[in-house]
Amino acid sequence: MSRLLFVSEKLPLPDHASGDLRFFSLLKILTAISQVHLSIFGWPAQKAKLKETKFNHYQSLLSKHGIHLHLGHIPALLRQGNWEIIAFEFYHTARPEWIIEARYHNPQAKLVIDSVDVHFKRLHEKAKITGNRKDFEQAEKTRKEEVLAYNRADFILAVTEADQKHINHYLPKAKIALVPNIHRIHSPDLKPPENTCRLVFVGGFQHSPNIDAVLYFCREILPRIALRIPVETYIIGSNPPPEICNLHSDTIIVTGHVEDTLPYLKRSHISIAPLRYGAGMKGKIGEAMAAGLPVVTTSVGAEGFGFTPGKHILIGDTPEVFAKHIVNLYKDPILHETIRLAGWNFIRKRYSEESLRPQVIKTFESILASQPKPLPWRERLTKSLQIEYERHLAWRFRT
């Protein structure tokens, strides 16, 4: 059985974020064809934040599904030399020194970078909205770093075709495979309140598109809705900054992090995702649909899923249209039922673990069968000299 090593900063917390659920599901699926190892280098900070009991719970979850966890020791693992695939979650995890270590000791291994989303694309869209020169500079700096990292890999994983095309624009010869978001499917039954339209937004606020989306919704869209129907909005997500916390009122409930979003989804009428910029697939949309909720979003939010607007989802790119969709869904029970069940079936058939398992396995089997890039001779020579120095000379200066 082949040996796969994944490198990430943190343990995946599949009940906390859609990206973590995708990563965890990917690891779990691949145990069917490979011995899967995960090494995390940011574990001390994560363990301190989660506390030992929770950290141990997520460790056990990996072990339960046959995934071997290593806390750090990444250079030592790379020097083992017997990996068929070495994969990095996010471009910034693929440190140049680790790439060299991996190539030098594992010339047979295929190096993979999971983009998760194309960071510079998201940052550039943000800059176009803010018009801030520093935002444009940050987007360009990230683009150079991200493209350079992808160019070192043998394969890149993209979540959407749009992200794939964006990477190929800068790297036309790059080999890119699609691994979309993977969702847990729940019963589509809902129990919202009877006399008020309850809206729900889910998203961590360490992610700037979510801050922008909530502020935009509360300033531009919500007042239009409140003129026509009774409405309350639940804003759910970790690390809300002061400008989000200050929105809290009798009709806008800012919860912060919750252990389980499902009860909040089940007690709502509509999920909202008023995103104005972003990249990759928006997990909040798939998560809501997998629970049976209808979703109102923007063109940015719907990107990558393959929805038919008006059938699976409602799209409003202006405050007026967004508000109109919410009012219509609340007032028209037949429309509400039709949209929500169409969305639920769409996610179930295309983005459940069961439906995506064959695609993931086929993708990694093709990666295993491919030929890796060689380590450039200058880097190989430098690494050889470094090893010889450590082996024969460095010890003299330590005594």
| 125-183 per-position pLDDT tens digit | 999 999 999 999 999 999 999 999 999 999 999 999 999 999 999 999 999 999 999 99
Angle at 364 between CA 22 and CA 287, to 5 degrees: 15
Q: Where in the chain do CATH 3.40.50.2000 domains reside?
A: 2-182+354-392, 197-350
Q: For residue range 319-344, list pLDDT tens digits in order.
A: 999 999 999 999 999 999 999 999 99
Residue 386 near residue 380, CB atoms below 8 Å: no
67 pLDDT more than 70: yes
Q: Across-strand partners of 112? A: 87, 155
Confidence class of residue 360 from pLDDT cuts 50, 70 and 90?
A: very high
What dihedral angle (degrees, nearest 10) is formed by the CA atoms of 215, 319, 274, 293?
Answer: 120
Confidence class of residue 1 from pLDDT cuts 50, 70 and 90?
A: confident
**Which amino acid makes up residue 387?**
I
- The span from the CA of 117 to the CA of 237, in Å, is 19
Residue 150 near residue 91, CB atoms below 8 Å: yes
At 72 the pLDDT is 87
Q: Which pTM does this prediction carry?
A: 0.90
Mean pLDDT taken over the chain: 94
Burial class (CB in 10 A: 0-12, 13-18, 19+), 134: exposed
Confidence class of residue 393 from pLDDT cuts 50, 70 and 90?
A: low
Angstrom CA distances, 307 to 21, 185, 252, 297, 304, stand at 21, 17, 29, 12, 8
- The span from the CA of 324 to the CA of 345, in Å, is 24
At 380 the pLDDT is 82
Confidence class of residue 392 from pLDDT cuts 50, 70 and 90?
A: low
Position with higher pLDDT, 50 vs 90: 90
- The span from the CA of 248 to the CA of 271, in Å, is 18
Q: State whether residue 107 is helix, strand or coil.
A: coil
Confidence class of residue 15 from pLDDT cuts 50, 70 and 90?
A: confident
- The span from the CA of 231 to the CA of 319, in Å, is 16
Q: 68-71 and 85-89 as β-strands: parallel, antiparallel, unpaired?
A: unpaired
Q: Specify the fold of 197-350.
A: Rossmann fold (3.40.50)
- The span from the CA of 96 to the CA of 73, in Å, is 16
Buried b (16+ CB within 10 A) or exposed e, 274-299: bbbbbbbbbbbbbbbbbbbbbbbbbe
CATH superfamily of 2-182+354-392: Glycogen Phosphorylase B; (3.40.50.2000)
